[in-house]
Amino acid sequence: MIKELINGKTTACVASTDRGLLYGDGLFETIAVIDGTLRHWPRHLSRLQAGCDRLGIPAVDGRELAHECQALAGNAARAVLKVIVTRGSGGRGYRVPEKTVATRIVQLHDWPVFPPVCAETGVAVRVCKTRLGDNPALAGIKHLNRLEQVLARQEWSDPDIMEGLLLDAAGYLIEGTMSNLFLLRDETLLTPDLHRCGVAGIMRTRVLELSEQLAIDAHIRPVEMKDLREADEIFICNSLIGIWPVIAVDSSEYEKGVVTARLQNLLDSCPDTGNSWRT
Amino acid sequence: MIKELINGKTTACVASTDRGLLYGDGLFETIAVIDGTLRHWPRHLSRLQAGCDRLGIPAVDGRELAHECQALAGNAARAVLKVIVTRGSGGRGYRVPEKTVATRIVQLHDWPVFPPVCAETGVAVRVCKTRLGDNPALAGIKHLNRLEQVLARQEWSDPDIMEGLLLDAAGYLIEGTMSNLFLLRDETLLTPDLHRCGVAGIMRTRVLELSEQLAIDAHIRPVEMKDLREADEIFICNSLIGIWPVIAVDSSEYEKGVVTARLQNLLDSCPDTGNSWRT
């Protein structure tokens, strides 16, 4: 990590009574900083606030948080901001105390080094054995209960496999451990419905918008392994990697597709700066 | 909290890079201290180690942990020890770094004040709307991903309701937010199967042993709401409360039962000291 602010102060210490630690009682965002700009800031803030609403954590002061993020990001050419908001300290039991003061953590990390081949040629992924449990009350938001992702990511160490795909208990495809999933079938884009589990990624929404600009039909619906097997194109996306074509799922090979490339090009040429934030 | 040790040191500070905070990547135990003795210590340690095994966290040094717990507990007449073990610091992503050093937190808390009527007469409980997601890989162990319990506990504030019962996505009864559930039907004790979700409580195991001593048939199997409605007796249990009869579930009333009372008496008279720990 490069530097950090916790509740506005330079420290790396969180209270051992923080409910983020005790129960994973909080939320996070992972934000790309490019040329000192917080990419998709309003979208990240909006998802964070939606998560707070869902968990009953008092709303974050968006202006204050933005200023802290910008103070850390400075003029960084490329960096990653991780924002964590927890319910704060209180109680040994699950019951939420009447008054809680949220903990606000902002961390600036180095930009991860992705081999250029990932975006250009595409990546190999695997289907994980670890399944996502259904929980509509937690679906969509980016909360701190991430053991399923940790267990899934432990399933492989082969550095050539860049992502693992996760199914729910019923066998539907939901997402990658750190990304959202898109398939193209019969010239229609498909991405899994996330009403029962999964994280609704900022880049997923952006891809759906871009597909509209390109007049590509896109559907959000339950996605089966059959859809994956019969897909003409597959890609994964998140705020840091953008769009990566998938050219192998376990032993099945796929071509990097034309639609995937068109979406990548449009994403590169439309940085969505009106939706970013800079002082 | 009364006092605390983190990795053997007197501090209340956890690193903001700890995976316990970032992902709930860890486990905990809640241990009753009675007259300076750690009740059911070997059972707690064993479940903690099983949890570490399951998550791939290096095994805890049980002797060291026991000494830290005992140092904090001293001769306390009644107190609660909370032990938290996380995977320690490492990485911004879900991937577990090659070398991690677990974080060991031991906290001594005041004994909670339970109205005597809870154990004597029994308690009212409710059935929660929040459901438990299925995840066999996480079932049984006491991990730090506890948002489901936090959400469930937020469903009520009536101080006369002492516990909320949780169903899984399929509608089977699993447990309480902080306790395990037992029913008596046709002179047979029933407690939910926990292979897909739920925490396998220390007191749950103890109750199953006590029922054997009393020659009461006990079955671990899926439990439906129908079983609850037709139950002759209901009780909940955990390491701190022991056994509490349930005399109301929402608007349905139940009698405190004879079998529940026999189990309470046997629990009180068999403190299982051979299974406790004291220097």
Q: What single letter denotes the amino acid at residue B63?
A: R
Question: Would you call B258 an interface residue with chain A, using a CB distance cutoff of 8 Å?
Answer: no
Helix or strand run (H / E) with residue A175 = strand A173-176
Q: Residue B271 has what DSSP assignment?
A: -
Distance CA B25, CA B89 (A): 10
pLDDT reading at B209 higher than 50: yes
Report the phi/psi class of residue A116: left, alpha or beta, with left for phi > 0 and alpha for psi in -120 to 50: alpha
> Looking at residue B278, what is its pLDDT?
58
Question: Would you call A133 an interface residue with chain B, using a CB distance cutoff of 8 Å?
Answer: yes
Give CATH 3.30.470.10 domain extents, chain B: 3-110
At the fourth CATH level, which superfamily is domain B117-270?
Answer: D-amino Acid Aminotransferase, subunit A, domain 2 (3.20.10.10)
Angle between helical axes of B202-213 and B258-269 (0-180°, round to 10):
100
Between these two residues, B180 and B256, which has the higher pLDDT value?
Answer: B180
What pTM does this model have? 0.96
Contact A131 B130 (CB under 8 A): no
> Looking at residue A278, what is its pLDDT?
58
Active-site position among B68, B103, B142, B163:
B142
Contacts of B250 (CB under 8 A, 6+ apart): B126, B127
Question: Would you call B194 an interface residue with chain A, using a CB distance cutoff of 8 Å?
Answer: no
Model confidence pLDDT, tens digit, residues A144-193: 999 999 999 999 999 999 999 999 999 999 999 999 999 999 999 999 99
- Whole-number mean pLDDT of chain B? 95
pLDDT reading at A90 higher than 90: no
* CATH fold for the domain made of B3-110: D-amino Acid Aminotransferase; Chain A, domain 1 (3.30.470)
Q: Show residues of chain B in contact with A105, CB under 8 Å.
A: 16
Contact A153 B82 (CB under 8 A): no
Give CATH 3.20.10.10 domain extents, chain A: 117-269
Place of tokens 């439906």: B224
Q: Show residues of chain A in contact with B94, CB under 8 Å.
A: 146, 149-150, 152-153, 177-178
Strand partners, A182: A235
Candidate CATH numbers 3.20.10.10, 3.30.497.10, 3.40.50.300, 3.60.15.10; the one for domain A117-269: 3.20.10.10
Question: How does strand B13-15 pair with strand B26-34?
Answer: unpaired
Question: Would you call A153 an interface residue with chain B, using a CB distance cutoff of 8 Å?
Answer: yes
Q: Show residues of chain B in contact with A154, CB under 8 Å.
A: 56, 95-96
Distance CA B9, CA B186 (A): 53
Catalytic positions of A are 30, 142, 175
pLDDT reading at A274 higher than 70: no
Contact A145 B24 (CB under 8 A): yes
> Looking at residue A81, what is its pLDDT?
97
pLDDT band at B53 (very low <50, low <70, confident <90, very high): very high
In this prediction, residues A46-58 reach a mean pLDDT of 97
Question: Would you call B94 an interface residue with chain A, using a CB distance cutoff of 8 Å?
Answer: yes
Give CATH 3.20.10.10 domain extents, chain B: 117-270
Q: Show residues of chain A in contact with B171, CB under 8 Å.
A: none
Place of tokens 């992705």: A114
> Looking at residue A279, what is its pLDDT?
44
Model confidence pLDDT, tens digit, residues B5-49: 999 999 999 999 999 999 999 999 999 999 999 999 999 999 999
Distance CA A154, CA A163 (A): 11
